[in-house]
């Protein structure tokens, strides 16, 4: 099947993940998607911050009512005029102290309220995300890949199951990937071998090598046998090539790089030699020796390698 050319919107960023939670008060349903309005009833979502604030306000209002009632009873029930004045003053001081206390502890009270709400509504939140996930499924079925992926990406901030990762990867594999897309790789690494993921990773490697991180290279090494069967040796050579990006990676994966050294193009070998040459005190394992042999064999007469040939 031909891949779709789509435009992916930028991911919505919030300082904390829970800030993405919102609720449709009409359906009493949570969502983590970017939509401003409920997909079921169309009414506007209320963000979790506002939700907590309104609960908090309601609580303060109830408390204020109680306090006013107690103070009023105290004043009204005063047996003499003198006690009435006394109750009035005492009630006033009490109310002021109460308000000051509330303001001083506002932040931690808000925090506790948020925590309580998340704990109490946890099942509801889970059900809401499940509903979001169903919406994404429907999008995939109707071939609306961009909205499907955007939904799965938001859900992925909360759910890190392999199943969801693979669903995201499978949608991405149907899309023509471009370097201007905000692609992710490391958060999509599943806990076991998955052909779709490797296919996606190799595509990403072609577009943006910087996304191939330590964890990703480690994944390729761990499942190398299966990867060679499914994608051929070239895929491993390409991944080993990306490890040459950083000195840190070269040290970490020196054995892996060593295996494929002879298959690298000249500029990669040159880059590697440069790094090895300028860091003689680092323990490169057998890599240093192997590189020397390769240069002696293959690039002996190459002027670019002149300074590495002793």
Partner 1 sequence: MSIYSIVFTSILVVILIWKTYKLFKNKRNSGDFEGIDDELVIMLNEGDSIG
Provide the binding-site residues for partner 1, judged by CB under 8 A.
15-18, 67, 70-71, 74, 77-80, 82-83, 86-87, 90-91, 94, 97-98, 101, 104-105, 108-109, 111-112, 114-115, 118-119, 122, 125-126, 129-130, 133, 155, 158-161, 163-164, 167
d(CA 296, CA 19): 59
- Round to whole Å and give the CA distance between 27 and 38: 8
Smallest Cα–Cα separation from 256: which of 226, 286, 230, 215?
286
Q: Which is nearer to partner 1, 21 or 261 (CB)?
A: 21
Binding partner at 83 among Zn ion, partner 1, none, C-beta below 5 to 8 Å by kind: partner 1
**Using CB distances below 5 to 8 A depending on partner kind, what does residue 26 bind out of partner 1, Zn ion, none?**
Zn ion
Binding of Zn ion by 26 (CB under 5 A): yes
Least distance from C-beta 21 to Zn ion, angstroms? 15
Closest separation between CB of residue 281 and partner 1, Å?
A: 39
- Does position 270 interact with Zn ion (CB under 5 A)? The reply is no
Q: Do 4 and 177 touch, CB atoms closer than 8 A?
A: no
Binding-site partner at residue 56 among Zn ion, partner 1, none, CB < 5 to 8 Å by type: none
| C-alpha dist (Å) from residue 212 to 56, 66, 208 | 45, 61, 8
Footprint (CB under 5 A) of Zn ion, residues 35-54 = 38, 40-41
Looking at the DSSP assignment, which residues form a beta bridge with residue 56?
none
In the sheet that holds 46-47, the strands lie side by side as 29-31, 22-24, 46-47
CA distances from 254 to 70, 185, 196, 234, 269 (A): 76, 22, 27, 18, 13
Q: How far is the CB of 304 from partner 1 (least distance, A)?
A: 50
CB of residue 214 to partner 1, shortest distance in Å: 23
Cα distance between residue 45 and residue 123, in whole Å: 19
Note the residues at the interface with Zn ion (CB under 5 A): 24, 26-27, 38, 40-41
């Amino acid at each position: 099947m031909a891949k779709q050319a789509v435009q992916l919107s930028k991911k919505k960023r919030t300082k904390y993940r829970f800030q993405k939670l919102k609720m449709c008060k009409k359906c009493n349903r949570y969502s983590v998607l970017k939509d401003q309005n409920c997909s079921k009833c169309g009414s506007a979502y209320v963000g979790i911050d506002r939700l907590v604030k309104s609960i908090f306000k309601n609580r303060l209002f109830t408390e204020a009512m109680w306090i006013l009632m107690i103070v009023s009873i105290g004043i009204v029930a005063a047996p003499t005029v003198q006690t009435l004045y006394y109750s009035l003053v005492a009630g006033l001081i009490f109310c002021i102290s109460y308000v000051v206390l509330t303001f001083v502890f506002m932040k931690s009270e808000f925090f506790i309220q948020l925590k309580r709400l998340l704990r109490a509504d946890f099942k509801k939140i889970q059900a809401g995300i499940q509903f979001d996930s169903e919406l994404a499924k429907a999008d995939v079925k109707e071939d609306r890949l961009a909205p499907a992926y955007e939904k799965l990406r938001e859900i992925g901030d909360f759910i890190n199951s392999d199943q969801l990762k693979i669903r995201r990867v499978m949608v991405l594999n149907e899309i023509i990937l471009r370097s201007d897309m905000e692609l992710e790789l490391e958060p999509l690494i599943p806990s076991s071998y998955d052909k779709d993921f490797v296919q996606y990773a190799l595509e990403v490697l072609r577009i943006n090598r910087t996304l191939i991180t330590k964890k990703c290279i480690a994944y390729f090494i761990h499942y190398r046998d299966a990867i060679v069967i499914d994608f051929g040796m070239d895929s491993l050579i390409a991944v080993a090539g990306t490890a040459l990006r950083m000195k840190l990676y070269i040290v970490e994966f020196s054995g892996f790089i060593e295996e494929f050294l002879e298959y690298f193009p000249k500029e990669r070998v040159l880059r590697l030699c440069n790094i090895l040459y300028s860091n003689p005190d680092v323990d490169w394992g057998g890599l240093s020796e192997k590189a020397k042999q390769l240069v002696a064999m293959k690039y002996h007469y190459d002027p670019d390698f002149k300074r590495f040939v002793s």
